Structure 1
């Protein structure tokens, strides 16, 4: 959690100083990153120890650092660029934190699917999954999601810390179940529609079928756009364009 807060501070400060532009990852001077970390510290320690500590958490690995920033910027492309009000109105969803999370969760899942595909290799005549950069970025996206969720829950009026922790635990379990459901529907629209109906409308019999159909169309079209992004661009300069739900 400490590392998440530090990364978010770095992102915000880099953005204000012009080192980053939206989801594009631009080289940020290592000296600036070190200074940002020092600003978060409340203890004065020797330079050699700082270097050892940063190496342990990955700051000295330039490639991992850039990949981590890529993951955080990818996540931020969701809450910053999605028109949530449009999703609520078109799909007749209540304007609540739960609805916000469900919509965010779907977009995050799409990013996870695309990045996990980066680690699939053809060995002989079979496809094999090998953990690599895609898996690392995937974990960074999820880390950014939970850091954002924790911050948003704290801002809810009258939020009780104990209740907040319980809510985060429940949301986490729902998130894992939703990912499994969506994954099962990757190659079958009927299975995907069932997963959407279950997650967005709790299998309510009053659900307008056109709403579920819109979401399924959105998933297929958005996934197609993500698949067209070159692999090299996914690592260093991802340009994510999110489709509008009203156009589906």
Structure 2
């Protein structure tokens, strides 16, 4: 007993032992002393929930929609007959041509999904509300850029800095193409001009029948996408893409 008292007295003088009032916060605790916070479970649970919600782990519906967006994009490079496009439309077999074709198909899917968020009120104007369609559209674009970045890195002799610059340039072109295609939804002449500009860089050597074939493909493919019920598009993201050779 005497020995214990001696040790305790020594620790007190060395200030390595301090009494702590657990009924109130203590701000004089030595940082070397590891104490259990009584509210640890509550605080950690709150932060964890916030973090998981931020990354979408707690929202299963959002997670499914994100997967749907990625599956929809994978359906494009996996099922589109790129060789037919190259040969029948006299396009060079290059990464730029591949991107233009992929970009067009991505836009078609985006148009279909954005239609999910359009509301028709009693007034003359239609109203757009951001919802699942807007979220899936962003996921499709996210998946596309991830794929593009990986493909550019695989190109022979690709320089990382040059690759980043190319992706940046493609991003600007992509935004411009979306605007041009959107403007052509209600007018075939505007749509043909957008196709001519994007696929043939407004070249005078481009054949009118090739531009016309792409415009017809867009119109027919949009009709097919419009007929797919919303639930089927979410549950079964596989899309039957028309051949560019079909009449």
Same fold (TM over 0.5): yes
1:52 offset after TM fit, Å? 5.2
CA distance in 2 between counterparts of 1:153 and 1:50 reads: 37
Aligned-residue offset at 1:235: 2.6
Tell me which residue corresponds to 2:218. 219
1:106 is matched with 104
Between 207-216 and 50-59, report the one with greater CA deviation: 50-59
Corresponding residue of 1:170: 169
Deviation at 1:51, TM superposition (A): 6.0
Match of 1:206 in 2: 205
User: What is the alpha-carbon distance in structure 1 between the residues aligned to residue 85 and residue 220 of structure 2?
Assistant: 16
Unaligned runs of 5+ in 2: 1-43
Identify the structure with bigger relative contact order (alpha carbons < 8 Å, sequence gap 6+). 1
Pick the structure with greater CA Rg.
2
Q: What is the alpha-carbon distance in structure 2 between the residues aligned to residue 51 and residue 89 of structure 1?
A: 53
Deviations 1:109-167 (A, max 9, x none): 00000000100001112310000000000000000000000000010111001111110
Does the Cα contact within 8 Å between 1:71 and 1:140 map onto a contact in 2?
yes
SS in 2 for 1:205: coil
- Bigger Cα displacement from structure 2, 56-65 vs 140-149: 56-65
Provide the rounded CA distance (Å) in 1 between the counterparts of 2:168 and 2:246. Answer: 34
- CA distance in 2: counterparts of 1:62 and 1:223, whole angstroms: 29
Partner residue, 1:62: 60
Structure 1 contact 67–236 (Cα < 8 Å) conserved: no
**TM-score with structure 1 length normalisation?**
0.79
Count of aligned pairs between the two proteins: 203
For residue 80 of structure 1, the aligned residue among 51, 54, 78 is: 78
Cα deviation 1:66-125 (Å, max 9, x = unaligned): 000000000000000011111100000000000000000000000000000100001112
Structure-2 separation of matches of 1:159 and 1:228: 42
After TM superposition, the score normalised by the length of structure 2 is: 0.79
Which among 116, 119, 129 is matched to residue 118 of structure 1? 116
1:90 corresponds to: 88
In 2, Cα distance between the equivalents of 1:49 and 1:132? 26
Whether the 8 Å contact between 2:196 and 2:202 is mirrored in structure 1 is yes
Q: Aligned equivalents of 1:156 and 1:212: distance in 2?
A: 29
**Cα pair 1:66 1:236 within 8 Å, conserved:** no
Are the equivalent residues in 2 in contact too, given 1:185–1:191 (CA < 8 A)?
A: yes
1:136 lines up with 2:135 in the alignment: yes
Please, which runs of 5 or more residues in structure 1 have no aligned partner? 1-45
Structure 2 contact 71–237 (Cα < 8 Å) conserved: no
